[in-house]
Structure 1
Amino acid sequence: MKIACIIHSLDGGGAERVMAGLASRLCDRGHEVVLVTLDNGVKNRHELSSAVRRVPLDLMRVSRSQLDRFFNSRRRVAMIRDSLLDQKPDVVLSFCDRTNIDVLSGLRNHSLPIVISERSDPSQQNLGRWWEYRRKSVYRRADRVVALTRSAADHLRPICSCPIDVIASAVEQPPIESDRAAAESNRRILAVGRLEYEKGFDRLLDAFSTVSQQHSQWSLRIVGDGSLRKQLQSQADALGLDDRVTMPGWIKPIWGELADATLFALPSRYEGFPSALLEAMAMGVPSIAMDCESGPRAIVENESNALLIPNDRGELAQGLLRLIEDCQLRNRIAAGAKSVLERFSWDKMVDSYERVLSEAASSVDSGD
């Protein structure tokens, strides 16, 4: 098949990582893959196979008014349409909500089969009135929809008229091993993600403030960047944690950070399917995750591979204290965490996408 993939950029977190890996692996399986991105293609945090042809559209514009937004939207949709049609693919694979909406809008009068992949939890995510209206209007035009979890799929069914497949994200084998004895001596809690409201780092700082009153030798490291950096730094300073909290920005690759971490924390208010948690577990880092909507509960089976706690700020502090003070629990979780490597392998994920893309292309060819 010739597959045209499209996403906003490769300069970001989980969705971008999965798109880069999926496009590369589909190419390895003999498919012709083109990757269209809405950015200028300059900043990339994820490696892409040289066999995948990259088409950057340089469409990332800031709208300064309602009129700006209208014209930017029309221009963006037109350029996405023209670029995808120029590729003459057998099937289009689009990642992430706003890009999905623009792709479906642009190709509404064309017969290209379109598979869209929702990368977050639509029941929790509010795109704003304009984007939500457009999503409800155009998602029914998709030939197939992919959701990360069953709960996300259930939420999408009322606005979709095609089959919805549940395909979880994948995690790769870590390229390095973690010396757990050395990591234990670091007494470091690691968190990774975009510094945005939904990731819940504000409540992690509050929880760590409680923890540090009893365990002052522990530190917290938050790897990532985003619009709340200054706000989170100010919160850490106000809590008197400035000497024990570091926020170094994005670090690539993340494996060295994970290898050195004593614990990993996922404080999210909601998730799609948290790649950072998967990577921490693949490294064998004892992990704690808030039982927020969608992803974590699909990953954590029981306390043999991670600690899943109620989605509450106070519970996070108590969960961290429990892990810090119970060495046997940490060791048990570390031993069981690596089961994610089998459960969420790249081969399984690529098999599923390959099947969905092939079925979507065939259904349009046959007129179904």
Structure 2
Amino acid sequence: MTVRVAFYIDSLKTGGAERVTLRMAQWCREAGHLPVVLTRRQARHDFYPLPEGVLREVEAPDPAWVAALGWLGFPWRVLTLRHWLRRNRIEIAIGMTTLPAIKLILAVWGLPLKCWISERNYPPAKPPSLPWRLLRWLTYRRADLHLVQTHQTGDWLRRHLGATPQLLLPNSVSWPLSSFAPHVDPVTVLDPCLRQDDSGTAGPPPALLLAVGTKAFQKGFDRLVRAFALIADDCPGLHLVIAGLTIKPYRGRDQVADLQSLLPPSSAAMGRVHFPGVVGNIGDWYSACEMFILPSRFEGFPNVLLEAMASGCACVACDCPTGPADLIRDGENGLLLPEAASDLELANAIITLHRDALLRRRLGQAAQHVREEFSDAQLAQRFVEALNG
């Protein structure tokens, strides 16, 4: 039986939740269902290409009088969403991330359709404002199904919000990794002069320490930059690349400028920390790097770590809530540091891997087993079985 499925999310900009939303929509389409992705923001904000056969719609803009009301216009927005669901005869609606999930639960109240929701970060690590916390407490227990990425997140939702039933659905990895615009060649990011030795002849290419993310604080990039500065003198051939940060301000902050300001002018790391921006060919960067690092303060289930491990990278991650410990077995397929690892602990892990090629190779080879454990086919089957149930 064909099911009309709506995925509701704020936008399709860069980010893990956005990418997973499209992957789930693709699973629906491949299973013979009719998926549509509804966003609050216009399509001009989209980064990821829409899978074939997946419809894309945008919520109607607020009338001027509703926009002028601010928060008080929220009931109107809920009613508008409810009207859209009825008009499109949606049978299962899935809210991705906290605010869209709350709004969706309110919109489907009393309608003959199922409502699923999915938190994409460990909830207590990034609490919403008080009004949203209250609404979350009132609404989450009314969802028909909670898609949770880890047992830890599921336990928290169950204890604090009565959020049941649940389906454990970690992120998947589709191998080989997809590639799309913008295509940024790792070689072009590094200035050609970096390949010259003191005599002016070509030297070996720099070794790359790679980190990827769109939110600098969450990903702990400040910790990483400080740690890299500690070892820059001892590892003159190592360069740090932080991919994913846009040139646009994030919540009023220039993330790149903030990170650059952490380097003293006299630091040996100056000129060796690179920000290529958003890249669509991320697989090329995993292939080019010597090691991958994820010093996050919190996660949901880190796509970039999963992809790096699938690519055979030697990986270092902090044991933040949640996800890294579900992927890395310390010393076996990566290095897992304490959640509150100091800058020095990060630096020591980096320098250990940089100086031990055999260790990097062993960890990288073992890491590739995530291709099977978190395969797209396996997790798609789990999702579609719930959809058909």
Please say whether Structure 1 and Structure 2 have the same fold, judged by a TM-score greater than 0.5: yes
Summarize deviations over 1:273-311 as a string: whole Å, max 9, x none. 000001111111111101111110011134232111112
CA deviation after TM superposition for structure 1 residue 15, in Å: 1.2
Corresponding residue to 1:33 among 29, 35, 58: 35
Distance in 2, matches of 1:53 and 1:325, equals 49
| Residue equivalent to 2:305 | 277
The question of whether the paired residues in 1 share the 8 Å contact of 2:146 and 2:163 is answered with no
C-alpha change, 1:247 and 1:85, in structure 2 (3 Å) is same
Distance in 2, matches of 1:326 and 1:59, equals 56
- Equivalent residue runs for 1:309-324 within 5 Å: 309-311=337-339, 312-313=341-342, 314-324=344-354
Corresponding residue to 1:255 among 283, 292, 295: 283
Equivalent AA in structure 2 for residue 347 of structure 1: A
| Residue equivalent to 1:338 | 368
Distance in 2, matches of 1:237 and 1:84, equals 54
- Equivalent residue runs for 1:155-234 within 5 Å: 155-158=156-159, 159-175=161-177, 185-225=205-245, 226=250, 227=253, 228-234=255-261
Q: Give SS of 1:229's match.
A: helix
The question of whether the paired residues in 1 share the 8 Å contact of 2:148 and 2:168 is answered with yes
Summarize deviations over 1:245-270 as a string: whole Å, max 9, x none. 11121111211111111111101001
C-alpha change, 1:308 and 1:88, in structure 2 (3 Å) is same
| Residue equivalent to 2:90 | 89
Equivalent AA in structure 1 for residue 212 of structure 2: V
The question of whether the paired residues in 2 share the 8 Å contact of 1:209 and 1:239 is answered with no
Equivalent AA in structure 2 for residue 336 of structure 1: A
CA deviation after TM superposition for structure 1 residue 146, in Å: 1.1
1:126 is the counterpart of 2:135: no
C-alpha root-mean-square deviation of aligned residues, in Å? 2.3
Equivalent AA in structure 1 for residue 352 of structure 2: R
The question of whether the paired residues in 2 share the 8 Å contact of 1:202 and 1:235 is answered with yes
Summarize deviations over 1:147-166 as a string: whole Å, max 9, x none. 10000000000313531121
Distance in 2, matches of 1:111 and 1:70, equals 27
The question of whether the paired residues in 2 share the 8 Å contact of 1:3 and 1:33 is answered with yes
Structure of higher CA gyration radius: 2
CA deviation after TM superposition for structure 1 residue 239, in Å: 7.2
Distance in 2, matches of 1:343 and 1:239, equals 46
Structure 1 residues not aligned, in runs of 5+: 177-183, 360-368
Give the share of equivalent positions with the same residue, in percent. Answer: 30
CA deviation after TM superposition for structure 1 residue 197, in Å: 1.6
Equivalent AA in structure 2 for residue 37 of structure 1: T
Equivalent AA in structure 1 for residue 347 of structure 2: A
CA deviation after TM superposition for structure 1 residue 352, in Å: 1.5
C-alpha change, 1:236 and 1:247, in structure 2 (3 Å) is farther
CA deviation after TM superposition for structure 1 residue 90, in Å: 1.9
TM-score (norm 2): 0.84
Distance in 2, matches of 1:8 and 1:135, equals 17
Equivalent AA in structure 1 for residue 371 of structure 2: L
The question of whether the paired residues in 2 share the 8 Å contact of 1:115 and 1:357 is answered with no
Equivalent AA in structure 1 for residue 115 of structure 2: I
C-alpha change, 1:189 and 1:102, in structure 2 (3 Å) is same
| Residue equivalent to 1:13 | 15
TM-score (norm 1): 0.89
| Residue equivalent to 1:366 | none
Equivalent AA in structure 2 for residue 41 of structure 1: A
Distance in 2, matches of 1:66 and 1:210, equals 50
| Residue equivalent to 1:102 | 103
Q: Give SS of 1:123's match.
A: helix
Structure 2 residues not aligned, in runs of 5+: 179-203
Summarize deviations over 1:60-80 as a string: whole Å, max 9, x none. 99xxx9952332x33432332
Distance in 1, matches of 2:62 and 2:320, equals 31
**How many residues end up aligned between the 2 structures?**
349
CA deviation after TM superposition for structure 1 residue 185, in Å: 4.9
Corresponding residue to 2:384 among 338, 354, 360: 354
1:117 is the counterpart of 2:118: yes
| Residue equivalent to 2:75 | 74
Q: Give SS of 1:6's match.
A: strand
Distance in 2, matches of 1:161 and 1:276, equals 27
CA deviation after TM superposition for structure 1 residue 341, in Å: 0.5
CA deviation after TM superposition for structure 1 residue 189, in Å: 0.5
The question of whether the paired residues in 1 share the 8 Å contact of 2:211 and 2:241 is answered with yes
The question of whether the paired residues in 1 share the 8 Å contact of 2:98 and 2:119 is answered with yes
